[in-house]
Amino acid sequence: MIGGTVTIDQNVLSTKGAFSKNIVGMIAAGPTADTNPSEEWQTFVEQYKTTFPDAFNMPSSFAHGYYLNTMAVLQALDTVEGKLDDDQQALQQTLASLQLNSPTGVVTLDENRQAIATNYVTEVVIDDDGQLQNKLVKTVENVNQTLGMEREAFLALGAPTRNNPVCQP
């Protein structure tokens, strides 16, 4: 089976019963991989487990996302020295141009303020403790909203619908 980020999130992997056995081997992709060997990720995981000892076995995609968003806002507030006058224009401009060094790599925003970040292809496996986890299969850096295609070529595909893109075997 192939699933999306939420399908294999720790919210799902922490479930018990028949469902959990049915997702072993599922391939997915998203912003985190439990077995990511990078020092930054391993440090983040240890800090997460220390801060939330009764939480999931690994940080969820949501915990990761909230952490990144908070990091970005705090970094931008430092840059503008906490000044939110002028309808927060300086803060918004700072956020739009921010380069965030995160536990999963560098995150920047494109002209639509959509993230350009590293994504991880993972496979759901059972770890040595009998817990489900997302095993890192492949790292893909600088994933953007056009999936690496030139913007014009991506837009020429048209809006996604039931028949677009065409499903071909």
Positions of E strands within 57-109: 100-102, 105-109
pTM: 0.86
> In the chain, what are the domain boundaries?
2-156
Of 3.40.630, 3.40.50, 1.10.3470, 3.30.70, the CATH number of 2-156 is: 3.40.50
Query: pLDDT of 120-162, one tens digit each?
Result: 999 999 999 989 999 999 999 999 988 888 989 999 999 889 8
Q: What is the pLDDT of residues 73-89, one digit of tens each?
A: 999 999 999 999 989 99
Residue (of 16, 21, 43, 5) closest to 134 by Cα position: 5
Residue 19 is inside which H or E element, if any? helix 18-22
Evaluate whether 24 touches 131 at the Cβ level (below 8 Å). Answer: no
Contact of 45 with 133, CB cutoff 8 Å: no
pLDDT in tens, 90-113: 999 999 999 999 999 999 999 889
